[in-house]
């Protein structure tokens, strides 16, 4: 998205890149090249809060939410501590000789003591019921959860996302006033999260007598995305949301030919989506780029495998770590610590590496500015993309594939369709069976033994030139001009 904004502004468009800023009530602004960047606070999360306080049906005595349980426990425990303090005061009074005064005081406190004897176990019971309810709600196989999803989907159709995941409405509340104030000619909605925001902004503009064109940038096959754990309603909500608002798009762009075909079929599009590869920008000023080997304390003779991107189970990094004992002396560098990365994800990999006896060969590094990723990765010997089989992984071409290519790195990729085809057709690496530790080790040994053989695949005339953001941004610029030319006066 930063590349999109910067290149569009350089091409003469007046660009504002709008995003969300979490955990704050204040926004922020800066510039990327000639493009304005504006982060808006998500606000009070009114709908996200409401989705977490559904009245219990399965366990009617459970508290409706974690916050409600915490409040009740806090009240009862405070009253218990207050009672102990008052009893301690009366004990001190008795020690001073005022025996009858102390006895009368304890008698007056008897109703409170009796109430707490009942209330404390009752609150603990209701909280335990709430925890069991949360576990059932998080289960995709729970009958009532499945019925609720079916009921909402059957009777509300594509509008069901409002009930299945009302937290999405918080995005609308945050973005809408900013977009309306900007009065754009084109709204570029990135990914499935913002297609609804863009479509509704387009309709509000019609009400005000303005023509706004909507470009939808579909990064992923939403039905193939791995949902967050414990949120069985999330994926049906995203699918319904995308289906409702996809018809409002004046143009659709996406990241691979396979995904373009699926989007055309799934949404019955009359025009095939334009493919804009998420390729790196090569002509950007990189500044002083840190050295990969120096940062990790490695010499030039040490074999290094590199990975860039987020840490998640479905990314398959656990396979690479499990294979390191079969690759003596090989180090793994992960350019994976985003500013909002949860420490648990990184800590799990470090614990796995320690259990395998290879902790000293795993290096976790923070993200870099996007224009420094390619020259930084060039310090490795080969790169890995061990994605597991998910419907989305099968059809998407990730930015890391093109970053590895421009870094001149042989690639070890799993046999997900789009990435495997790219590697095989161009002879730029080895493909292994996703999730197979031994097969990954075989593929890694092959590319490390003869990297020149695979680097030669990048020498095909025009290949790397096509895989640049400079070439792809021209395609996106043509999409913008096309939708404006087709706009009514």
Which residues contact residue 425 at a Cβ distance below 8 angstroms, ignoring those fewer than 6 apart? none
Q: pLDDT tens digits for 132-163?
A: 888 887 888 888 889 989 999 999 999 999 98
Q: Is the pLDDT of residue 223 over 70?
A: yes
Q: How far apart are CA 316 and CA 432, in angstroms?
A: 12
Q: How far apart are CA 425 and CA 411, in angstroms?
A: 13
Instruction: Tell me the percentage of the chain whose pLDDT exceeds 90.
Output: 67
| Range scoring the smallest mean pLDDT among 55-64, 403-412, 474-483 | 55-64
Q: pLDDT value at position 418?
A: 92
Instruction: Tell me the H-state helices in 96-192.
Output: 99-108, 110-137, 143-156, 161-164, 168-182
Q: pLDDT value at position 50?
A: 59
Write phi, then psi, for 331 (nearest 5 degrees): -105, 150
Q: pLDDT tens digits for 347-402?
A: 899 999 999 999 999 999 999 988 899 999 999 999 999 999 998 889 988 889 99
Mean pLDDT of the chain: 91
Nearest Cα residue to 422 out of 382, 451, 388, 464: 464
Q: Calculate the dihedral angle through the C-alpha atoms of 65, 69, 75, 78, rounding to the nearest 10 degrees.
A: -140
Q: pLDDT tens digits for 49-94?
A: 556 566 667 778 888 878 888 899 999 999 999 989 988 998 998 8
Q: Is the pLDDT of residue 29 over 80?
A: yes
């Amino acid at each position: 998205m930063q590349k999109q904004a910067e290149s569009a502004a350089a091409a003469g468009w007046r660009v504002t890149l709008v995003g969300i800023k979490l955990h704050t009530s204040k926004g922020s602004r800066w510039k990327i090249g000639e493009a304005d960047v504006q982060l808006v606070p998500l606000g009070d999360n009114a709908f996200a809060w409401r989705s977490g306080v559904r009245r219990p049906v399965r366990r009617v005595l459970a508290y409706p939410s974690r916050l409600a349980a915490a409040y009740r426990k806090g009240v009862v425990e405070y009253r218990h501590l207050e009672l102990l303090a008052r009893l301690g005061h009366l004990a001190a009074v008795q020690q001073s000789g005022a025996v009858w005064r102390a006895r009368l005081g304890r008698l007056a406190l008897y109703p409170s003591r009796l109430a707490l004897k009942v209330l404390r176990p009752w609150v603990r019971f209701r909280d335990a019921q709430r925890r069991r309810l949360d576990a059932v709600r998080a289960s995709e196989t729970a009958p009532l959860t499945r019925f609720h999803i079916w009921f909402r989907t059957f009777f509300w159709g594509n509008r069901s996302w409002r009930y299945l995941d009302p937290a999405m409405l918080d995005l609308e509340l945050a973005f809408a006033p900013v977009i309306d104030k900007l009065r754009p000619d084109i709204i570029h909605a990135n990914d499935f999260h913002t297609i609804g925001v863009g479509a509704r902004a387009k309709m509000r503009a019609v009400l005000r007598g303005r023509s706004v064109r909507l470009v939808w940038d579909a990064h992923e096959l939403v039905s193939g995305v791995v949902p967050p754990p414990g949120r069985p309603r999330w994926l049906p909500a995203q699918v319904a949301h995308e289906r409702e608002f996809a018809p409002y798009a004046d143009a659709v762009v996406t990241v691979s030919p396979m995904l373009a075909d699926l989007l055309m079929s799934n949404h019955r599009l009359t025009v095939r989506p334009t493919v804009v590869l998420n390729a790196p920008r090569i002509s950007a000023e990189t500044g002083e780029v840190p050295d990969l080997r120096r940062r990790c304390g490695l010499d030039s003779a040490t074999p290094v495998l590199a990975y860039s991107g987020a840490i998640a189970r479905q990314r398959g990094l656990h396979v690479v770590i499990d294979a390191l004992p079969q690759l003596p002396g090989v180090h793994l560098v992960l350019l994976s610590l985003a500013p909002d990365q949860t420490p648990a994800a990184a800590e799990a990999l470090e614990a796995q590496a320690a259990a395998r006896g290879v902790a000293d060969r795993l290096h976790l590094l923070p993200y870099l500015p996007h224009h420094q990723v390619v020259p930084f990765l060039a310090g490795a010997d080969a790169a890995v993309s061990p994605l597991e089989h998910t419907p989305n992984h099968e059809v998407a071409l990730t930015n890391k594939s093109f970053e590895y290519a421009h870094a001149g790195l042989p690639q070890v990729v799993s046999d997900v369709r789009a990435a495997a085809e790219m590697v095989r057709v161009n002879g730029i690496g080895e493909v292994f069976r996703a999730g197979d530790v031994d097969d990954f080790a075989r593929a890694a040994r092959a590319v490390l033994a003869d990297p020149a053989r695979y680097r030669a695949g990048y020498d095909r005339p025009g290949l790397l030139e096509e895989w640049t953001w400079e070439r792809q941004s021209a395609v996106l610029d043509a999409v913008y001009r096309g939708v404006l030319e087709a706009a009514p006066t």
